[in-house]
């Protein structure tokens, strides 16, 4: 019997269900979008984003190569090792994508990703990224300040913290089938941290739309904090009065504090934070307080015991 005859289909030729569903949904969305006269951002590879240019908040350090940024990732929703996200994140459907903004605000709303991107001009911001495991990168993000959204929704006097939640969909995010963390992923900032000009909602990097493994289509970037604070694939933003319990606090509060500010003087219980290894470099370098952003953000923590509030 020929190998391509009916009833002799090889397992390797069967399209995985998640991939099939993704393709079917994408074709539906593309057809509807074309009829309406527009295409979703993910309709073609290498979509360029229009920006106002390089932000003065950028570091002058050379960016990490794109291949490293997109193939060495922490994104437990697609696997706990650094390489699985790039291999498995193709199952994530990023358009259409809506973000619900609610809680202690006067103007709750559900925003499409396209509407969010119109709240403020997009900027190129080259930020350092420092991960608690001891590695670091320099990433040229494209995004807009979170404070543009905050001003739009008008927090009430009861709003003290901003809580962010990642999409929960184990079919699209197979890592969520594992109990390694409590899903969905939740992170939070104090309101003044969220309002700080450095705090970015990123929609791209290297001038193009965010790859799935880097948190498409919308992620938080707080460059003075460890990377786990910069939550990915956000679907909900809630303004609350009391400090939320974030995912890594729930998993191990002794190791991962709420603030997660980069501090060389506070060791992780299992390793030192005094040194870091920049991806692509052989030798380690000294860790900088607040990841080198102390001049901009230290005033946020004036009077606080940074060993207690880590």
Tens-place pLDDT, residues 178-191: 999 999 999 999 99
Task: Give tens-digit pLDDT for 192-232.
Answer: 999 999 999 999 999 999 999 999 999 999 999 999 999 99
For 242, other C-beta atoms within 10 Å of its C-beta total 9
Domain range 15-252, CATH architecture: Alpha-Beta Complex (3.90)
Query: What share of the chain in percent tops pLDDT 90?
Result: 84
Q: With 80 as the cut, is the pLDDT of residue 39 above it?
A: no
pLDDT at 59: 98
- Segments in the chain forming alpha helices (H): 17-36, 66-71, 84-88, 113-116, 146-153, 191-195, 247-252, 294-297
Q: With 90 as the cut, is the pLDDT of residue 43 above it?
A: no
Mean pLDDT, the chain, as a whole number? 89
Between the alpha carbon of residue 192 and those of residues 32, 188, 195, the distances in Å are 40, 12, 5
pTM of the model: 0.86
**Strand partners for 239:** 103, 162
Contact criterion met (CB below 8 Å) for 123 and 143: yes
Q: Look at residues 263, 259, 253 and name the one whose alpha carbon lies nearest to residue 286.
A: 263
- Ranges 46-50, 186-190, 296-300: which has the least confidence: 46-50
Calpha distance 231→212 (Å, rounded) = 13
């Amino acid at each position: 019997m020929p190998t391509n005859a009916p009833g002799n289909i090889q397992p390797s030729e069967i399209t995985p269900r998640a991939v099939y569903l993704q393709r079917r949904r994408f074709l539906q969305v593309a057809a509807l979008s074309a009829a309406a006269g527009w295409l979703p951002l993910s309709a073609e590879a290498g979509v360029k984003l229009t920006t106002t240019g390089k932000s003065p908040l950028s570091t002058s350090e050379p960016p990490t190569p794109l291949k490293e940024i997109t193939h060495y990732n922490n994104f437990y929703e697609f696997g706990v090792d650094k390489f699985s996200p790039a291999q498995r994140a193709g199952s994530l459907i990023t358009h259409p994508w809506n973000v619900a903004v609610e809680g202690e605000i006067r103007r709750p709303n559900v925003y499409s990703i396209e509407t969010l991107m119109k709240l403020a001009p997009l900027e190129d911001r080259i930020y350092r990224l420092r991960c608690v495991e001891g590695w670091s990168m320099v990433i040229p993000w494209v995004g807009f300040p979170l404070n543009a959204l905050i001003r739009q929704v008008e927090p009430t006097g009861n709003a003290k913290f901003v809580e962010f939640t990642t999409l929960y969909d184990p079919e699209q995010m197979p890592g969520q089938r594992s109990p390694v963390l409590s899903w969905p992923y939740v992170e939070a900032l104090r309101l003044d941290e969220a309002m700080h000009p450095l705090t970015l909602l990123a929609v791209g990097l290297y001038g193009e739309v965010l790859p799935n493994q880097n948190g498409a289509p919308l992620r938080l970037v707080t460059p003075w904090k460890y990377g786990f604070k910069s939550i990915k694939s956000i679907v909900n933003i809630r303004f609350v009065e009391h400090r939320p319990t974030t995912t890594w606090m729930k998993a191990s509060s002794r190791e991962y504090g709420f603030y997660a500010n980069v501090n060389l003087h506070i060791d992780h219980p299992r390793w030192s934070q005094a040194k870091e290894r920049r991806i692509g470099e052989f030798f380690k370098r000294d860790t900088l307080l607040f990841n080198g952003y102390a001049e901009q953000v230290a005033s946020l923590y004036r009077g606080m015991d940074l060993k207690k509030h880590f």
